[in-house]
Every structure is written in C-alpha cells, then in structure tokens.
C-alpha cells in the first residue's frame, strides 16, 4: 500500500493503517513470526510526518487500489471515497516465492490479522484479492480455521478472472475401460505447462499424454500416489505425470501433468476408466496470466472456474459485474465449485472502478478483486451496525452476514437464482440492511 497517499491519511496527519506487515522486507517481524517487518501506526505516522516512502513500497499498485475501494477517505476527490471510509486497515504485503504468492504466505497473513483484531477488540473483514486454479478442490475449512467462526470475523474473496479464458474444460468418462480425450492447443512453444485433472469421487482413471506428432507417454496408473517421468523424442519435451488417490482434503483422484519445453500443436490427454460412477472430470490449466495467449483447451467450459480460496464454503465469494449495463464481467469466474457448492455468493461492481493509485493518483481497475473490495467495505459497515453499535450482535457471524447479502441482493425477474455467473444477485447493501428489520 502507498501509505503516503492522502486517501489513507486523516486530517490530523495520522494514518488509518493500524498495522503494516511487509513480509518481503528484512527487519523486525511481528511477535511469533519469522519473516518480514512489522510497522505500527506510530511508525507509519512518523513516516508521514517525514514524507518517508521507504517503509514499504507497492510496486504493483493493486494493494493501494483495493484498500482505497474498501476504506479510502477520498481526500483528493470525495467522489472516489471508499465504501467504509471511516474503517481502519491492517495491511499485509505477501512474500512471493519463485515469483508467485503461496498458500503459506496467505495463511500466516490471515492468522496475523485475526490476532491483531482480537487484541484490538475490533471486528475484521478479510479482503483476499488473489486466487489460483490450483487447489480448486479445497472446499471445506479445517479445524485450524476455526477462528473464522468467531463473531465479527469473516473472509471475502474474489472468485477469479478465469470465466472466458479457456483454462478449464470438463467431460465424462463413460464406463470402465472407456476412453475420453482432452485436447490442449498451443499456438506457440511454451517453456512450462501444467494441467490438473480432478475426478468426481470416488471415480478412478488411468492417464496417457499424446504429443502433436503422436508419441505417447508411459501409462500413469491410478494408485494412492505414483509418478512417471519421460521424454518425447521428437519434440524433446520432458514430462512428469503424478496421481494421488484419494486426496486428503477432498477425497478425489487428482492428476498433475507437467510439461517442459512444450512444442506448439495439439496435445491430447487420454483418460481411461478404471472405476467409473458418474465419470465426470474437470481439468485446469494455470491461471491465464501465467500462460501464453494461444495456450488453451480446445473445448473449454466457463463453468466451475471458481478460484481458490473462494472455493471454501465459508468464504464469501464475489463475482464482478458492469454497472453500466448490469451484465457479468466476461472474465468473472463461474460456479459452482467442483464439489457442487453454489458460487459466487454475490456479484459487485468490478469494471473500470476508479481507486487510489501510488503517487497521489487515481487509476481504473477491473476484475473480481475490486468487486470483492466493494463487498469487504460493505460488510465492514454491516459489522459496525450490528456488532460495534450492539444492535444485532447475534447476526455478526459469517453465515448470517452472507444470508443478509443474498437476501438483500438485486435480482432480475427473467433470471433464475442462484446463478452460476451472478450468484444470488447484485450487491445491494441498503437491501441487506432492510432485511434486518
């Protein structure tokens, strides 16, 4: 976050950021943690007075923008104030490993923020603005996440931007011994391509991968855990095939296909039924942002593209729509989850949203991340009303809050709900408050 942006500074010169944990910067980490540097409100206030921009830098700009949508003051332009502009912020800059954010970084960040909220005796709404096509089968919170069933704590996550990106396909293996082919097209060579395949439980399949020249990999046979490596002689493409059955967290068969030095053309994945009931499978490439433009499934399916962690049943999942015409943002991921949990819960404004940007500027942002920020700010207002002001404290639990979001949403007469794209409708926080009466 750009903590020097005027939209995060009160008129008396103090910051609305209570804590800032930069996991990427060596220094004094928070108590109980071993990476990064923690800055208190006093540290940030001192930096504001001294115009010191070196504590933590937002290189990408998205953290500043999403924080501003949630809770910006609108000091430069009141028209661009955040939804809950009187709310305080706890900001965590996640550490990347090999250029990517990790589940471990996110896990410790949410744990840290929850502890701070409990110390401050304040409710908290988590805004999670990144997601992944990996771990899409993670749909149930574990006992380790029991803190999120506390009153006054909830998590909001964008569902992802994979709806029309051709990174997902699905189909059916018809019977034991039956064969089903998945076609993957590359319009140019790609150094690294990974595909994950999930079978509906308790189904099991074997797998082969066929190169554009017709060379076939070794047969990957289903087992509790096995892997194969090999090389396609003509393409000089290396492969790693992995299967795991059943996975610990979902009970499904998971197949991971990793190809290196991948040549352009049509690659085929052959699934062979071993123990088939429904036979349904879902296959995922990495998120579009990590792929070459011409890498895609030939018969893609925009459904079941909800990204982790919005797949969690007790995370409030948010899609994006265009406020100009009320239509879904084309890339907004669609539900349900591959475990058939309806998603998204709701959609919010997510197209050309104007928000604070580093350097005392404003910029536009589109996607499910700004939509989730809208819902985060809205739920902060909701918690202020029901819990802080002690009007309806028993309604300050995640499941109660998501019910009021759904009940108050704006819906169209000619559309059935829940909808795989629109969830239970368009965010209408006034409508949600009216449901309390």
Same domain flag for 24 and 138 = yes
Q: How many domains does the chain have?
A: 2
End-of-domain residue from the set 269, 297, 325: 297
Task: Tell me: do 228 and 139 sit in the same domain.
Answer: no
Q: What is the CATH number of the domain that holds 241?
A: 2.60.120.1290
Q: In the predicted model, what is the mean pLDDT of residues 246-271? A: 95
pLDDT of residue 143: 36
337-373 tens-digit pLDDT:
998 999 999 999 999 999 999 999 999 999 999 999 9
Asked whether residue 394 is assigned to any structural domain, the reply reads: yes
As a whole number, mean pLDDT of residues 124-144 equals 71
**Helix residue ranges per DSSP H, 40-133:** 41-49, 62-71, 103-120
Burial of 158-195, coded b for 16+ CB within 10 Å and e otherwise, reads bbbbbbbbbbbbbbbbeeeeeebebebebeeebeebbb
- Report how far residue 100's alpha carbon sits from residue 266's, in angstroms, rounded to the nearest whole number: 28
**Statement to judge: residues 100 and 152 lie in one domain:** yes
Cβ pair 351, 322 in contact under 8 A: yes
In a domain, 1, yes or no: no
Neighbouring residues of 326: CB distance < 8 A, sequence distance ≥ 6:
412, 426
Mark whether 291 and 394 lie in a shared domain: no
pLDDT value for 182: 99
Domain co-membership, 387 together with 283: no
Residue 103: predicted pLDDT: 74
Are residues 137 and 191 both part of a single domain? Answer: no
Instruction: Report the relative pairing of strands 295-297 and 316-321 from DSSP bridges.
Output: unpaired
| Segment 374-416, tens digit of pLDDT | 999 999 999 999 999 999 999 999 999 999 999 999 999 999 9
* DSSP annotation string for 226-274: EEEEEEETTTTEEEEEEEESS-TTT-S-EEEEEEEEEPSEEEEEEEEEE
pTM score: 0.94
Mean pLDDT confidence for 214-243:
97
């Amino acid at each position: 976050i750009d903590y020097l942006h005027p939209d995060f500074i009160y008129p008396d010169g103090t910051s609305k950021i209570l804590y800032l944990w930069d996991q990427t910067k060596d220094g004094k980490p928070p108590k109980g943690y071993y990476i990064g540097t923690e800055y208190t409100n006093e540290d940030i206030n001192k930096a504001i007075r001294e115009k010191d921009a070196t504590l933590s830098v937002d290189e990408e700009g998205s953290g500043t923008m999403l924080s501003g949508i949630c809770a910006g003051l609108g000091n430069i332009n009141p028209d661009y104030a955040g939804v809950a502009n009187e709310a305080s912020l706890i900001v965590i800059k996640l550490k990347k490993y090999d250029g990517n954010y990790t589940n471990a970084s996110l896990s410790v960040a949410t744990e840290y923020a929850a502890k701070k909220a409990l110390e401050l005796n304040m409710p908290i709404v988590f805004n999670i603005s990144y997601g992944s096509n990996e771990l899409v089968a993670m749909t149930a919170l574990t006992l380790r996440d029991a803190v999120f069933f506390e009153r006054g704590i909830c998590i909001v996550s964008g569902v992802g931007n994979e709806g029309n990106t051709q990174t997902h396909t699905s189909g059916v293996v018809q019977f034991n011994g039956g064969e089903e082919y998945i076609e993957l097209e590359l319009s140019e060579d790609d150094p690294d391509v990974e595909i994950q395949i999930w079978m509906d439980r308790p189904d099991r399949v074997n797998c082969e991968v066929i190169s554009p020249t017709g060379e076939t990999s070794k047969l990957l046979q289903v087992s509790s855990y096995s892997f194969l490596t090999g090389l396609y002689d003509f393409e000089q493409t290396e492969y790693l095939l992995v299967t795991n059955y059943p996975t610990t967290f979902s009970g499904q068969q998971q197949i991971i296909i990793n190809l290196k030095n991948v040549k352009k053309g049509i690659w085929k994945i052959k699934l062979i039924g071993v123990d088939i009931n429904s036979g349904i499978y879902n296959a995922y490439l990495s998120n579009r942002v990590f792929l070459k433009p011409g890498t895609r499934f030939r018969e893609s399916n925009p459904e079941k593209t909800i990204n982790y962690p919005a797949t969690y049943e007790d995370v409030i999942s948010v899609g994006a729509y265009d406020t100009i015409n009320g239509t879904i943002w084309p890339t907004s991921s669609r539900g349900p989850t591959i475990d058939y949990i309806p998603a998204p819960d709701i959609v919010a404004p997510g197209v050309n949203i104007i928000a604070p940007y580093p350097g005392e500027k404003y910029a536009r942002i589109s996607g499910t991340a700004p939509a989730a920020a809208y819902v985060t700010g809205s739920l902060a207002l909701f918690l202020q009303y029901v819990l802080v002001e002690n009007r309806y404290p028993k309604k300050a639990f995640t499941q109660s809050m998501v019910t009021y979001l759904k009940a108050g949403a704006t819906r169209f007469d000619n559309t059935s709900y829940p909808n795989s794209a629109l969830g239970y409708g368009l965010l209408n926080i006034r409508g949600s408050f009216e449901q309390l009466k």
